[in-house]
């Protein structure tokens, strides 16, 4: 197969994920972002990278948002929102983060393949995204892509869709957001 044919297959897989995402679950997450004083995002590996991109866009919109584990991350307080992106929902470093957020009175949202996971069970809001977990032998979902790639790509694009919904609700556009873009580059 040519590289461009692989790219077409990846895009086709992504297109197939969209109708499987619940608009109701998504609306709950958007509402939680709107209502939170501060938003924290956690993820490991490539899911963590998608989370960092999400936090960057929230910052561009004026949302007080942080990546869990960074040195400049604020403290989570009651009523703040923690969003955890984890395909399996069992990532060993993220389960205690979700538990601590609950203990502190935070709202926990899980974006995961597996709502029945440890993180899913701790969450107040669960958005289920389609995809295969890293060990595809343990997955009912079929993909040509390795490990958790389909979930991670869907997660990144889903986060961008949440940003667009927030922009629509607050009548923001790229011009308004650009004023908060880094200028020391």
Nearest residue to 148 (alpha-carbon basis) of 92, 94, 87, 89? 87
Helix (H, G, I), strand (E, B) or coil at 39: strand
Whether domain 3-173 has CATH 3.90.950.20: the reply is no
The torsion region of residue 65 among left (phi > 0), alpha (psi -120 to 50) and beta comes to: beta
Residue 28 and residue 111: Cα distance in Å, rounded? 12
Report DSSP letters for 88-116, one per residue: SS--TTTHHHHHHHHHTT-EEEEEES-TT
Confidence of residue 76 (pLDDT cuts 50, 70, 90): very high
The more confidently predicted of residues 94 and 134 is 94
Whole-number pLDDT of residue 82: 98
Is the pLDDT at 105 greater than 80? The verdict is: yes
pTM exceeds 0.85, yes or no: yes
**Is-catalytic flag, 152?**
yes
pLDDT digits (tens, 9 = 90+) for 121-160: 999 999 999 877 666 666 677 776 777 888 899 999 999 9
What residue ranges do the domains of the chain occupy? Answer: 3-173
Determine which one of 35, 90, 152, 185 is catalytic. 152
């Amino acid at each position: 197969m040519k590289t461009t044919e692989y790219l077409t297959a990846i895009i086709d897989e992504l297109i197939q994920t969209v109708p499987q995402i619940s608009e109701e679950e998504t609306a709950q997450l958007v509402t939680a972002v709107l209502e939170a004083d501060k938003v924290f995002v956690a993820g490991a590996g490539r899911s963590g990278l998608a989370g960092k991109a999400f936090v960057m866009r929230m910052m561009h919109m004026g949302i007080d948002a942080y990546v869990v584990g960074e040195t400049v991350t604020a403290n989570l307080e009651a009523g703040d929102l923690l969003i955890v992106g984890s395909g399996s929902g069992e990532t060993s470093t993220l389960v205690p983060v979700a538990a601590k957020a609950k203990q502190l009175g935070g709202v926990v949202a899980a974006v995961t393949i597996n709502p029945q996971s440890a993180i899913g069970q701790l969450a107040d809001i669960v958005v289920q995204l389609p995809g295969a977990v890293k060990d595809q032998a343990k997955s009912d979902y079929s993909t040509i892509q390795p490990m958790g790639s389909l979930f991670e790509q869907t997660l990144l694009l889903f986060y961008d869709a949440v940003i667009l919904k927030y922009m629509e609700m607050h009548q923001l556009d790229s011009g308004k957001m650009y004023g908060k873009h880094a200028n020391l580059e």
